[in-house]
Amino acid sequence: MNKITAHLNQIPILTAVAVFFILGIVIAYASAIPFFVWFIWCALSLVIAVWSKEKDALFSFIFLVFCFGLGALHCNNYLFPHYRHNASLNLQHSLPVHIEGIIENDPAYSARKVSFILNSKKLIVAGRDYEMKGYIVVNVFKKEKFAYGDSLILEGRLYRPFNFGGKSFSYREYLKNQGIAYILSVTKEDGIVFLQKAQSNRVKAFALKAKHTFKSIFEAYLWPENSRILSGIILGERQNFPHAIRDAFVRTGTSHIIAISGFNVGIVAFVVLIILKALGIKRKPRYYLTIPLLIMHMYAVGASASVVRATIMAIIVLSGYLMERESQITNSLGLAALIILGANPLQLFDIGFQLSFVSVLGIVLLSGRIESFLGARGNPVPERPSAVNRLTKTAMQVKKWSINCFSVSLAAWFVTAGAIAYYFRIVSPITVLANLIIVPYTSLIIVLGFSLGLSALIFPAIAAPIAATTNYSLGFLLKITHWLSSIPGAYFYLPR
């Protein structure tokens, strides 16, 4: 026991809690152990933990046992929802219904339909009303304008998602992991009744309004294809992203650029801090202002697991600066996982969640070792006032930066290659080189995109030259990506 607790005490507390909470979710998901067993487990372990609070080693171990049980209890409760939750319905075929609810996200428009997520409140079948909870994907095959927060009644056919995607991916399981069990298809011209327009979270509504403003600016100033690409990279607008370009990013292993990941959130934080500094705002007020802006960005781009994780970690880092305390990356990662899984434990089985967390963990654990192996952490060049030594020092700094970038890229590829090969049936040896080239260059494009949006709003006279630069920069990005993907052996697909 003492050896176990000694090892546990060396692990950052939030990291340890997150690991045991996740193990509990995995066991509950894979087993048929009933809810009351996990409830008794949690109650007993909590009592023992309180009783042993004076014994540090025993308390630490029992508390983590309690966290394990709590994860299992939470997952079990989520898997067997309340009888009023729509997931408790047992439909074998489609059912004609009326559903009342509120739109929970930014509706996505395509040529054939409008899609959004509805937070259901009431189910109406054959003239009878039933209280209802849970999210539903809605497809409206009619030209209609919807907005986040709209309260409405929809008439259509309710059905389970079709289970397509192959052995490594199931669309039905994917939606289940998002907390969605059913799809509503609305085809009737009079199948929509608006009850109240845009009653919603004001911060999220403002963030989505800002997103639409930037999207309109991109459409007005950039070439159509470039507008769609930049909207995908900065705003998370992926439904109209050109398929050929998406495939090129996938083949080079740089699709995280258009998936709105920690990379994008980091660039947004950097841009915001630079702008606030240029406006003469002092250091601490800059951090206070950046935190709500990052939350707004998270809402605007869709709040996927990778964005939530990156936003939480950025907020923790900024809060550490405000309190003049250094944050621990693994603890930040653990807290982010607990917040996301606390809202929905099935996110653990989502591809995006897994890749997001595993890549960061791989970078934390491996990149430093790779740097040391490659000799990036050698002795510094002595400070001497000679031109030769200054050039030598600059060369060594460039070398160190290059090795650092290479180590991060290699570490991320190493820990995610297996999952990507399993889920997407593709292996991309070019990934490490592609990320070294494309990621820094895309950072510049993101800065240009924000500069274009802000200049068009504040000082339109300089928007045109920024737009021209952005157009040509995006064109060059596409050429680089296509060239890298066309190198022999850059990628290959695995048989399904």
Distance, in Å, from the CA atom of 231 to the CA atom of 227, rounded to the nearest integer, reads 6
Which segment, 165-174, 241-250, 255-264, 393-402, is predicted with the most confidence on average? Answer: 241-250
Q: Are both 121 and 214 inside the same structural domain?
A: no
Question: What is the mean pLDDT of the segment spanning 424-438?
Answer: 92
* Amino acid (1-letter code) at residue 331: N
Residue 201 placed within a domain: no
The Cα–Cα gap between 13 and 9 comes to 8
Q: How far apart are CA 473 and CA 467, in angstroms?
A: 10
Instruction: Report how far residue 458's alpha carbon sits from residue 244's, in angstroms, rounded to the nearest whole number.
Output: 35
The answer on 92 and 75 residing in a single domain is no
Note whether 339 and 217 are same-domain residues.
yes
Verify that 233 and 154 share a domain, yes or no.
no
The pLDDT of residue 230 is above 90: yes
- Taking only the tens place, the pLDDT of each residue in 298-316 is 999 988 888 999 999 899 8
Q: Domain limits at 18?
A: 2-79
Both 122 and 258 in one domain: the answer is: no
- Of 226, 222, 266, give the one whose Cα is nearest residue 439: 266
One domain, residues 416 and 304:
yes
Burial 369-390 (b: 16+ CB within 10 A, else e): ebbeebebeeeeeeeeeeeeee
Question: End of a domain among 30, 62, 79?
Answer: 79
Quickly tell me which residue has 């740097």 as its tokens.
371
The answer to whether the beta carbons of residues 179 and 117 sit under 8 Å apart is no
Count other C-beta atoms under 10 Å from residue 319's C-beta. Answer: 15
359 & 463 share domain? yes
Tell me the per-residue pLDDT of 98-108, one tens digit each, with 9 for 90 and over: 999 999 999 99
pTM (global) more than 0.85: yes
In a domain, 16, yes or no: yes
Residues 97 and 62 in one domain: no
Q: Is the pLDDT of residue 433 over 90?
A: yes
Sign of CA dihedral 87, 88, 89, 93: positive
Whether residues 234 and 278 share a domain: the answer is yes
Q: Strand 180-186 and strand 135-140: pairing?
A: parallel
Domain count across the chain: 3
Mean pLDDT in residue range 280-304: 92
End position of a domain, from candidates 196, 215, 236 = 196
Helix locations, 52-170, DSSP H: 56-79
Lowest-confidence segment of 33-42, 234-243, 320-329, 361-370 by average pLDDT: 320-329
Same domain, residue pair 458 and 321: yes
Query: Residue 271 — pLDDT band, cuts 50, 70, 90?
Result: confident
Domain check: are 433 and 469 in the same one? yes
**Residue 411 near residue 367, CB atoms below 8 Å:** yes
Q: What is the DSSP letter of 183?
A: E
Q: Residue 490: what residue type?
A: A
202 domain-assigned: no
Helices of type H across 279-328: 283-300, 305-322
Residue 42 counted as domain residue: yes
Name the pLDDT band for 10 (thresholds 50, 70, 90): low
Mean pLDDT in residue range 208-225: 96
Work out the pLDDT band at 465, boundaries 50, 70, 90.
very high
Question: Given 196, 226, 255, which residue is the final one in a domain?
Answer: 196
Identify whether residues 240 and 277 lie together within a single domain: yes
